[in-house]
Chain A
Amino acid sequence: MTKTARRTSVAKVAVRPMQAPPPAGDRRRRRLADQARAYGFLVGGLVCFALFSWWPAIRAVVIAFQKYTPGSAPEWVGTANFTRVFADPEFAAAWRNTLTFTLLALLIGFAVPFVLALVLNELRHAKAFFRVVVYLPVMIPPVVSALLWKWFYDPGAGLANEALRFAGLPTSNWTNGADTALLSLVIVATWANMGGTVLIYLAALQSIPGELYEAAELDGANLLQRIRHVTVPQTRFVILMLMLLQIIATMQVFTEPFVITGGGPENATVTVLYLIYKYAFLYNDFGGASALSVMLLVLLGAFSALYLRLTRSGGDDA
């Protein structure tokens, strides 16, 4: 071998990885290393999802058919948990209350923010002030809002009745009356959560092209007609999405009844999630709690699926 020949072969070796594909074993090893690296990045998140999201979802269904007491081996009991829960008089009350709460929250917590957003969008002054103030209650911890309103609703020196007296109106029992308790809680939840809804509506209103209003006005549409034929159709998608999100959120209501009323008076404010909590932590009946969870899961899962479907198709439109 001559010197020159050796030199060229060295040059070839140095260039080879860039030009010719490496042997198959090498490639596989490379790909495996890439995969190992990718999974190295994924593993922390995956373990947490597996332990605290996926496994609990499966486990809820499993335990719903078991007699489960922490510390002792679970026993299969068929549908006994479901029949026991169904027979509980609180079961019907909890579902009735939760559905009524959701419906009332939808009526109040829906119309009010929409009208507020409409008005705010027309105001040309102090915009930042309105946005900050309306969102302020959202930043107050829900427990504090609940305790604050519990104090307002106090039949003795509560602010709510003072305000009614000040306005010359008859006072109310608020959370102490079986027929007003749920509505009182809806007011708390609406007050505390409205800010987010208002801000989202405002963003949606701002994305309506001004020409549409211009054209409607030229066609002789008055204010209400413009709202009906321009504003509402243009924000329909956001309205629908927020409605679904709100249904999902309010059906899981817990803090307000737990803190303010303790489920009373006469079970008027026991909600499904509250009942789940009671089964698990007061009756130590995790089977019953899981049976209830599965029911809530199926119902809310259907709503969530609808939401995701809508956001997907809506995203394609936009």
Chain B
Amino acid sequence: MSTRTLVSSSALARPRGKAVYWSLFTATVLLFVLAFLFPVYWMATGAMKSADEVARTPPTLVPERWSLSGYTDAWELMQLPAHLWNTVVQAAGAWLFQLVFCTAAAYALSKLRPAFGNVILGGILATLMVPAQALVVPKYLTVADLGLLNDPVAIWLPAVANAFNLYLLKRFFDQLPRDVLEAAEIDGAGKLRTLWSIVLPMSRPVLGVVSIFALVAVWQDFLWPLMVFSDTDEQPISVALVQLSQNIQLTVLIAAMVIASIPMVAMFLVFQRHIIAGIGAGSTKG
């Protein structure tokens, strides 16, 4: 980037500037490796140590014998496949419901001018002011009344009530050129057809952002699934980890923690450019 920042490039070109720059650079790299990468390394290798080694002081930096038995034990003893599958089902359903219902509602509010549309939009935006966690108890009671406890639907439908994502979609739809949509209508396309073949293909970036937000939110959530899934067989990985952490061998628990982190970390590494750009852009545009 050529824009100048706090320190000018010419100041950095001088010998003293160069020395300061490179020592600051090295210090920052070291700090980042130590603060953010080392804990992850410690977790991934801790799972490969033996039960004695992991409890030893001073600890060993590198496992004496690299053993995968922590991972295989976790996979079998903690029933990780079942819990991972529960999480996938919950996240995928929440994503799908959000995409269908939020997109449809945002499209209606943006382009179809429903009566009382502004009242509805106001009501939706007002929920942004109500912190989600403060409402978990009455929300739980509603889900219980509907007989949805221990059912993934208890994750799916409340996920749709996401004012942030809905508003993101609506604002994007607002910016779509009107004449393109009108042209489609003159060609005889119905509203649904317009949404499906004109609006959605033009909205790929925002759909991507909403999808990532939706998946991450479900995968990372803890309090809500803890309340809703009392049945161990239905629990997602986050709840199961905490419930099982009490009476399981440390190396096995650590291995399970690593496995639970892999999906989201992998997704992040694949889509890092989009995710990082999305966070920056979303904030400055308000």
Binding partners A and B: yes
Contact B105 A42, beta carbon cutoff 8 Å: yes
Contact A123 B25, beta carbon cutoff 8 Å: yes
> How many residue-residue contacts, CB under 8 A, span A and B?
314
B183 at interface by CB-CB < 8 Å: no
Contact A52 B157, beta carbon cutoff 8 Å: yes
**Can you list, as one digit per residue, whether each of A87-110 has a CB less than 8 Å from chain B (1) or not (0)?**
000000000000000000000000
A246 at interface by CB-CB < 8 Å: no
Q: Which of B255-286 contact A (CB under 8 A)?
A: 257, 260-261, 264-265, 267-269, 272, 275-276, 279-281, 283-286
Name which of A1-9, A113-121, A173-181 contacts chain B: A113-121
Contacts of A59 in B (CB 8 A): 138, 141-142
B184 at interface by CB-CB < 8 Å: no
Contacts of A261 in B (CB 8 A): none
**Can you list, as one digit per residue, whether each of B100-128 has a CB less than 8 Å from chain A (1) or not (0)?**
11101111110011110100100111011
Contact A49 B142, beta carbon cutoff 8 Å: no
Name which of A20-28, A78-86, A252-260 contacts chain B: A252-260
Contact A132 B269, beta carbon cutoff 8 Å: yes
B180 at interface by CB-CB < 8 Å: no
A153 at interface by CB-CB < 8 Å: no
A49: contacting residue among B6, B35, B123, B253, CB under 8 A: B123
Contacts of B106 in A (CB 8 A): 45
Contact A48 B127, beta carbon cutoff 8 Å: no
B32 at interface by CB-CB < 8 Å: yes
B62 at interface by CB-CB < 8 Å: no
B112: contacting residue among A34, A122, A159, CB under 8 A: A34
Main secondary structure of the interface of B (DSSP, over half): helix
Contact B157 A51, beta carbon cutoff 8 Å: yes
Contacts of B46 in A (CB 8 A): 151
CA distance A126 to B28 in the complex (A): 11
Contacts of A248 in B (CB 8 A): 131
B134: contacting residue among A44, A70, A252, CB under 8 A: A252
CA distance A46 to B139 in the complex (A): 16
Identify which of A151, A166, A304 gathers the most chain B CB atoms within 10 Å of its CB: A151
From known contacts A147-B242, A301-B130, infer whether A44 and B105 are also in contact, taking CB-CB under 8 Å: yes
A223 at interface by CB-CB < 8 Å: yes
A136: contacting residue among B134, B143, B242, B265, CB under 8 A: B265
CA distance A136 to B272 in the complex (A): 10
CA distance A159 to B138 in the complex (A): 40
Contacts of A131 in B (CB 8 A): 272, 276
Chain B: which residue is nearest A305 at the CB level? B129
Q: Which residues of A contact B (CB under 8 A)?
A: 34-35, 37-39, 41-42, 44-46, 48-49, 51-57, 59-60, 63, 68, 70, 118-126, 128-137, 139-144, 147-148, 151-152, 156-157, 159, 162, 165-166, 191, 196, 199-200, 202-210, 213-214, 217, 223, 226-227, 230-231, 238, 241, 248, 251-252, 254-255, 258-259, 273, 276-277, 280-281, 286, 289-290, 293, 296-297, 300-301, 304-305, 308, 311, 314-315, 318
Please list 17 pairs of residues, one from A and one from B, whose beta carbons are closer than 8 Å in the complex, sorted by A's number.
A35-B114, A41-B108, A52-B139, A56-B141, A59-B141, A135-B279, A136-B265, A148-B257, A151-B46, A210-B3, A214-B4, A214-B8, A255-B223, A286-B141, A297-B131, A301-B130, A308-B125
Question: What 6 pairs across the A-B complex have the smallest Cβ distances?
Answer: A45-B105, A203-B280, A210-B4, A44-B101, A41-B108, A48-B160
Q: Which residues of B contact A (CB under 8 A)?
A: 1, 3-8, 12, 21, 24-25, 28-29, 32-33, 35-37, 39-40, 42-43, 46, 54-59, 97, 100-102, 104-109, 112-115, 117, 120, 123-125, 127-144, 146, 157-158, 160-161, 163, 166, 191, 195, 216, 219-220, 222-223, 227, 237-239, 241-242, 245, 250, 253-254, 257, 260-261, 264-265, 267-269, 272, 275-276, 279-281, 283-286
